[in-house]
Amino acid sequence: MTEDARFSAAQAWLSSLPLPGLLPHTLRPASADASFRRYLRVDQRQSSQLPISLVLMDAPPDKEPLDDFLAVADLLTQAGLHVPERLAVNPAEGFLLMEDLGVTHYQQALSVEDPSAAKGLYQVAWQALVRLQAWGRHHPQAISLPPYSAEKLLAEMQLFQDWYVTRHLGQSLDAREAQDLQKVYGLLIDRAIAQPQVIVHRDYHCRNLLVCPGHSPGVIDFQDAVLGPLTYDLVSLLRDAYIQWDEAEQLDWAIGYWTEARAAGLEVAPDFAEFWVDFEWMGLQRHLKVLGIFARLAYRDGKHQYLADLPVVLSYTQSVARRYIPLAPLRHLLERLHP
């Protein structure tokens, strides 16, 4: 079904819903997604008040079935996170009507020139993260998420070689470089698997957190959640691809998370220096993956805007590779690729 046909189908479905005051003719684009999903807004008139907006998720069922989104939404709601309330769902056609959490993402509200003001937003974000992780540790029987397995972690990092090195840079690796890179992958995987395994959002960053007055952050785009390493979402938050903070701020905020996580009974490393190594190595795994994903989004899917975000991700990758002796083979490779 074409995009225009899906738009018409969405309007027809909205017209069939027994929701008073719903105005299907106001359906309009809200935002796109890195996947096949897209989001639309529609107005609803409530008595004499001004209309409020709702969000319709358009997820083609053959590409982005709604089951995972709905299951994870229920899980996060139980954990006390602020996710959009669902109002109506049509799994067969791939439509979901839900609460509109607003238009102000963290990325729009943050300014690298004022980290002191940003700390308040990050604090409620890491507190929500601690709440989610602690809830999951106390309710393991309620979690039916797939594991962030060694195979999955490796497949993600392989995107770096396939799409960033080969497709984006037009380079190839010799046999020794390829072998050394696999050894680095193995070190990163071992470190990740050794961490406490908790509920992981997988994209807990400034474009998926919304400023919601009176609430902890609104959380979206959580359908790919897994059971995985404790530091993964904190890395997504503090070292995301779209806004870059000085390491002093990253350390300060990571200490804040670490302190609250320990108080909540989470099994974080008792020594912050050891926790920081977990954080950095987990971040390196994620950033190798993201370099590959952003290149794939550009060259396979035609979403070339992601190429503009590569330098920030590359800078994270280079800084960690330079800092740790066991990661020297990756440092040498990056120095050759980016002399």
Strand 218-219 relative to strand 226-229, pairing: unpaired
Regions of the chain where pLDDT drops below 70: 1-3, 32-35, 47-50
Amino acid 3: pLDDT: 67
Amino acid 214: pLDDT: 79
Residue 40: how many CB atoms within 10 A of its CB? Answer: 22
Amino acid 1: pLDDT: 61
Amino acid 42: pLDDT: 95
Amino acid 293: pLDDT: 98
Amino acid 28: pLDDT: 92
Amino acid 34: pLDDT: 60
Q: Give the domain ranges of the chain.
A: 3-99, 106-337
Amino acid 102: pLDDT: 87
Closest by CA to 71, choosing from 223, 219, 199, 233, is: 223
Pick the CATH number of 106-337 from 3.90.550.10, 1.20.1260.10, 3.30.70.120, 3.90.1200.10: 3.90.1200.10
Give the CATH fold of the 3-99 domain: Phosphorylase Kinase; domain 1 (3.30.200)
The model carries a pTM of: 0.92
Residue with tokens 């977990």: 278
The answer to whether 291 touches 321, Cβ cutoff 8 Å, is no
Question: Could you tell me the sign of the dihedral formed by the alpha carbons of 189, 107, 116, 128, in that order?
Answer: negative
CA 48 – CA 51 distance, rounded (Å)? 9
The answer to whether 136 touches 199, Cβ cutoff 8 Å, is yes
Amino acid 56: pLDDT: 96
